[in-house]
């Protein structure tokens, strides 16, 4: 496994595409009443090993380099502004964990190809259909993954989320309000 220092040396810093905020924080994520079983399963996968690269949505520390596509004010992560292409060399990682990010990107197929380019072994976590409140998050998710499993080693089947009243999903309207 590579150290965080080795990872940062493999990052191509291109203005406008990547912001280096720091390495990993000392603490772990909080667990609230919402999605309790969902978060427990997520943490079981995260704690199974130390991941060289963890691209995720939220505040989960998986060791190695943690990255997100959104800046969280209280979290010193590596923030990747543009994921097409990812700012890492080919094969820069032995293990990549992509946790709850695919449902937020414009093109999950292209993003998964980028994960495969960067990592030798790619594991993705997506909201399974049995977690209805997470899987059908129409305010934030651009894709619905048609799966009952949380963990995948290939890109699971995905479809656009349900339309609301014959219109596009709610998230573009919410994004315009922000």
DSSP string, 152-170: ESSPPPEEPPPPBTTB--H
Q: Find out whether 99 and 66 touch, Cβ atoms under 8 Å.
A: no
Q: Exposed e or buried b for every residue in 9-33, given b needs 16+ CB within 10 A?
A: ebbeeeeeebeeeebbeeeeeeeee
Q: Which residue has the tokens 């949380």?
A: 150
Domain count, the chain: 1
- Enclosing domain of residue 57: 4-177
**Which pLDDT does position 173 carry in this prediction?**
47
Nearest to 8 by CA among 18, 28, 155: 18
What's the gap between Cα 16 and its chain centre?
A: 20
Higher pLDDT, residue 176 or 138: 138
pLDDT band at 38 (very low <50, low <70, confident <90, very high): low
User: Mean of the pLDDT values across residues 76-98?
Assistant: 89
20 vs 111, residue with greater confidence: 111
Q: What pTM was computed for the model?
A: 0.72
Q: Which residues contact 27 (CB under 8 A, 6 or more apart)?
A: 61
Strands (E) located in the chain: 18-20, 53-56, 65-68, 78-80, 93-99, 119-125, 144-145, 151-152, 158-159
Under the banding of pLDDT at 50, 70 and 90, the label for residue 81 is confident
Residue 7 predicted with pLDDT over 90: no
User: In this structure, how many other beta carbons lie within 10 angstroms of the beta carbon of residue 155?
Assistant: 19
CATH number for the domain including 43?
3.40.50
């Amino acid at each position: 496994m590579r150290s965080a220092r080795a990872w940062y040396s493999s990052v191509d810093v291109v203005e406008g595409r990547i912001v280096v905020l720091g390495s990993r924080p000392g603490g772990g994520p909080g667990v609230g009443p919402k999605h309790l079983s969902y978060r427990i399963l997520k943490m079981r996968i995260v704690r199974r090993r130390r991941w060289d690269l963890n691209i995720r949505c939220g505040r989960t520390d998986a060791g190695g380099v943690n990255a997100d596509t959104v800046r969280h004010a209280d979290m010193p992560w590596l923030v990747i502004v543009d994921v097409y292409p990812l700012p890492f060399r080919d094969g820069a990682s032995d293990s990549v964990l992509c946790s709850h990010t695919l449902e937020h990107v414009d093109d999950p197929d292209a993003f998964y190809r980028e994960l495969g380019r960067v990592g030798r072994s790619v594991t993705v976590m997506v909201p399974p259909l049995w977690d209805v409140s997470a899987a059908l998050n129409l305010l934030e998710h651009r894709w619905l993954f048609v799966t009952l499993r949380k963990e995948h080693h290939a890109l699971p089947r995905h479809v656009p989320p349900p339309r609301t009243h014959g219109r596009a999903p709610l998230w573009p309207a919410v994004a315009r309000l922000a």
